Amino acid sequence: MHDLSGHAPGPPPSFEQAKNRRQKARSAGLDPNHWYAVEQSKRIHKGDKVEVKFLGRSMAVFRGDDGRLRAIENRCAHRNLKLTEGKVVGCELVCPYHGWSYDGEGRATITHDLFGHKSPNIRIASVPVRERYGLVFLFPGDPELATTRDIPMIPELEGPKPWPHVIVQFECPGHHSMLLENVSDFTHGFLHRKYQPFYGTEVLRCEDMGDRIEVEYKSKIAAGRFQNMFINRSESDCDHMLACYDYPYHWSNTDNRIKHFLFTLPQDDNHNRHMFIFYVRPDTIRLPLIGARLPHWLVDRMMKAQRFITLEPLLGQDVWVIEREQAGWEKFWDRPAPELSPVVRAFQDLTIRKWESYLASRNAAAGEASCGNVIAAKELVR
Ligand code: FES
Ligand SMILES: [Fe+2]
């Protein structure tokens, strides 16, 4: 029963309580058994440590003196302090309270008096970590599966001369499904009418292929006045885009010239970090009026500059609108959920079925799981 405010009676439903597609999509998590981009490599220097959350689970990522990254559970086994409150010494992360020191495998070394005990075998969980394309990736799920799944291949960014590219990272206060729907749904061009990143959109194909949804659009990309001046449309008009929700990633390819990858990190129920990599074939950018090609290094600089000129302001509009969508969702989640876009519906269905399948596998494994992830000498934990 609604009161005079018209607000729903209580908070949005859990995944188990959800009654329709939108309610399920808004309460689903993302399967932790994939590699998730959590930060840019250049932001974690030697001796730095950062807290990373995945669906509420806190992890400590730190870079040792040797330059290598490590990631462990962000909880001291002794009194449960966050290890990111401590500091990196050598290649270990040291808790600020009694100085227990953790290596990259989560093994603790105790340097204070042991009161006659032999050095106990204490270990917290470690988290697989890798770096690629200037990003730090964690595998927050079952570590044994980390070697069976790979970080997506982006051949254009490999090798000594990668395509000119730029990384745009931002925090978004809304459920992760909202941004994924946003990038799939070109009808929201209205929001971006000042920048016109896409114009005149038509969905040519939307195909459910199991763990991925492929969508073909006819849409003029980078149609804004400023960007349009620099786009070389002599070979192709950059108006045919293949976009894909390649669970849990999103990417697009416009005429093999303008591409992007989107990595989403669901930090908790309604707070997410997103990392876009935009990259272009070098001959896609030209000198306005003259039409001359530009050197690779200059195109790369121009891409980096685009971050400030168009990409961050543009994506800032999406963050702004999603924060408001989240606020509306929390008040009116029980209202009917009209959705015209077949792409949005397909994206929601994939998110829902992957989360259902993750929950089913987790429940099946629960019976066999060993308890906890601290291996401690028994006499110390009685
Ligand atoms: S609480 Fe971390 S060492 Fe004691
Ligand atoms: Fe947008």
**Domain end marker among 109, 143, 177:** 143
Say whether pLDDT at 272 is over 50: yes
CATH assignment of the domain containing 73: 2.102.10.10
Q: Among 85, 92, 97, 122, which is best to mutate for testing ligand 1, by the most ligand atoms less than 8 A from CB?
A: 97
Same domain, residue pair 173 and 227: yes
pLDDT tens for 13-54 read: 999 999 999 999 999 999 999 999 999 999 999 999 999 999
pLDDT score of 291:
67
The Å distance, Cα 179 to ligand 2 centre, comes to 8
Domain count, the chain: 2
Same domain, residue pair 96 and 219: no
The Å distance, Cα 334 to ligand 2 centre, comes to 25
pLDDT score of 382:
54
Which atom of ligand 1 has the smallest separation from the CA of 83? 2
- CB-based burial label for 280 (10 Å; 0-12, 13-18, 19+): buried
pLDDT score of 379:
56
pLDDT tens for 63-96 read: 999 999 999 999 999 999 999 999 999 999 999 9
The predicted model gives 173-181 an average pLDDT of 95
User: Is residue 76 in contact with ligand 1, taking CB distance under 6 Å?
Assistant: yes
**Range from 277-281, 289-293, 374-378 that averages highest in pLDDT:** 277-281
Same domain, residue pair 216 and 343: yes
The Å distance, Cα 307 to ligand 1 centre, comes to 42
User: Is residue 149 in contact with ligand 1, taking CB distance under 6 Å?
Assistant: no
pLDDT tens for 291-345 read: 678 889 998 998 899 899 889 999 999 999 999 999 999 999 999 989 999 999 9
pLDDT score of 337:
85
**Ligand 1 atom 3: the closest Cα is on which residue?**
98
Cα–Cα distance list, 356 to 24, 82, 140, 247, 343 (Å) = 10, 31, 18, 14, 20
Which ligand sits nearest to residue 122's alpha carbon?
1
Contact 124, 58 (CB under 8 A): no
Which long-range contacts link 58-62 to residues 24+ away (Cβ below 8 Å)? 58/82, 58/84, 59/127, 59/138, 59/140, 60/84, 60/93, 61/129, 61/136, 61/138, 62/88, 62/93
pLDDT tens for 336-371 read: 989 999 999 999 999 999 999 999 999 888 866 544
Same domain, residue pair 345 and 209: yes
**Ligand 1 atom 1: the closest Cα is on which residue?**
79
Domain that holds residue 243: 155-356
DSSP-assigned beta bridge partners for residue 312: none
**Ligand 1 atom 4: the closest Cα is on which residue?**
98
What pTM was estimated for this model as a whole?
0.92
